[in-house]
A and B are shown apart, each in its own frame.
Chain A
Amino acid sequence: MPQVSSQLRFADHLGRWKVRWGIGRNSCMVPPGLYAIGSPGPEAPVVVTANYKVTYDLVRSSLGGRDIWLLVLETFGINVWCAAGKGSFGTGELVRRVRQTGLEKVLGHRTLLLPILGAPGVAAHEVAKETGFEVRYAALRVADLPEYLDNGMNTTPAMRELTFTLAERLALVPVEWVLSFKFALPATALLLTVGWWLNGFSAGLTGSIAFLGAIAAGTVAVTVLLPWLPGASFACKGMIAGLLWSGCWVLWAGENLSLPTLIGSVLALTTVSSFYALNFTGSTPFTSPSGVRKEMRTAFPAMASALIIAVVLWIGV
């Protein structure tokens, strides 16, 4: 039985920092199976989690000084919430892992503690039918796990409610920003070259800054200012952030540009930040697929029209 420490080392902290910046994010995992924290006996609780290393580290470090079984499911390095949505943190894997680890021989009780965000993938009644283990959805956040355990395994309403605080949103900023580079860097290089070729280096540079600013408005500004940007629609929030940015850009660089060029630029920049804001829906915990589909049906034709008008205005001058 692998014994694991509840103390995180420097390498663990460094690893978490790296995935927050999008480095090695798709290969950040630990082997699935049953682990022991402290020296758990047959009556010790069993906490079930995903094999995304950041999740696994958070769980084990929150359980310091306790004797606990940790059952790690194979989610291919994906966090509990996303893996549950895809089904890898699911009934089938949980049943398989319970059987494979011989859990019923190790334990005197028949209770598994699951994260609430794992519930979209796991049917508690089917797990009970297949394995004889009762599934209890403990808490939503790892940070509440110690209180849950000390509390006689009672879930308070606060442990069940999702939040999306400024600190939680700020943690997402680096990865949102870095992931946008995949498209943004080649596009900026192209803008710089084309602008330089047509109107000189400073035109290329001004255009590139405008574009990078629009991406920052759609990723960083929307993430941080989410509750204060008006409207429920993300495309709309991104449009407002984009308008604010392009307004600043016009004041800074617009002096020598013609009116059609400026209008075209504002349309294009606003489209870029609106698109990135719409993309941020997947990183938030309060959007529904029906809502996102509805937004996409309205936003994409509007974005396409704005881009076509922008190109016509640019070429026409």
Chain B
Amino acid sequence: MRKFRYLKEVATLELDEERCIGCRRCLEVCPHGVFAMRDGRARIIDRDACIECGACARNCPVSTVRVDAGVGCANALIIEWLHEKGLFRNRSCC
């Protein structure tokens, strides 16, 4: 996805490189090439490409990746917000 870039410096992705065991799972599941290996450990090379889908965090066997995962969908966020305010009951979305 070199062609499309979304807003910069907003992604909540964090990686504790010290605790990484080098299993490469995060590289396998990331659809945007956010991670790379260096000296047998994963590191973040392109945080701004992160879409916070949460695949890396969910698949990290030692929980070294942290991200506020969710869907980048205005419609879903509006429904969630209305739901929190008690203005909307139906939570269904695409």
Contact = CB atoms under 8 A, between A and B. Distances in A.
Q: Do A and B bind each other?
A: yes
Interface of A: 78, 82, 84-85, 116-117, 119-125, 137, 140, 155, 157, 160-164, 226-227, 232-234, 278-279, 281-296
B73 A287 contact: yes
B59 A287 contact: no
27 contacts: A82-B94, A85-B71, A116-B29, A116-B55, A119-B28, A119-B58, A119-B59, A120-B54, A121-B58, A161-B1, A161-B31, A161-B32, A232-B7, A283-B73, A285-B1, A286-B6, A286-B32, A286-B51, A287-B73, A288-B51, A289-B73, A292-B74, A293-B77, A294-B10, A295-B74, A296-B74, A296-B77
B81 to A, nearest CB: 9
Contact of A161 (B11, B33, B59, B68): B33
B2 to A, nearest CB: 9
Contacts of A140: 31
B76 interface: yes
Contact of A288 (B11, B31, B58): B11
- The CB with the most chain B CB atoms within 10 A, among A117, A284, A288, is that of A288
A137 B12 contact: no
Contacts of B30: 160
- The CB with the most chain B CB atoms within 10 A, among A120, A161, A232, A278, is that of A120
A242 B61 CA distance: 47
A225 to B, nearest CB: 13
A232 B8 contact: yes
B76 to A, nearest CB: 6
Given A232-B8, A294-B7, A287 B55 contact: no
Contacts of A295: 7, 74
B58 A282 contact: no
A145 to B, nearest CB: 16
Contacts of B59: 119, 122-125
A132 to B, nearest CB: 16
Contacts of A291: 6-7, 10-11, 72
B53 A282 contact: no
| Pairs of residues from A and B, 5 with the lowest C-beta to C-beta distance, nearest first | A282-B73, A287-B72, A119-B55, A289-B70, A119-B29
Contacts of A160: 28, 30-31, 33
Given A119-B29, A119-B58, A278-B74, A85 B53 contact: yes
Band of interface residues on B: 35 or more
Nearest to B5: A232
A286 B77 contact: no
Interface string B1-25: 1011111101110000000000001
Contacts of A279: 74-75
Contacts of A294: 7, 10
B5 A290 contact: no
Given A285-B51, A292-B72, A293-B77, A227 B4 contact: yes
A155 B3 CA distance: 22
A235 B39 CA distance: 41
A162 B28 CA distance: 13
Nearest to A90: B58
- The CB with the most chain A CB atoms within 10 A, among B12, B53, B70, is that of B53
B28 A290 contact: no
Contacts of B3: 164, 227
A120 B56 CA distance: 7
A119 B28 CA distance: 9
Contacts of A285: 1, 31, 51
Contacts of A85: 53, 70-71
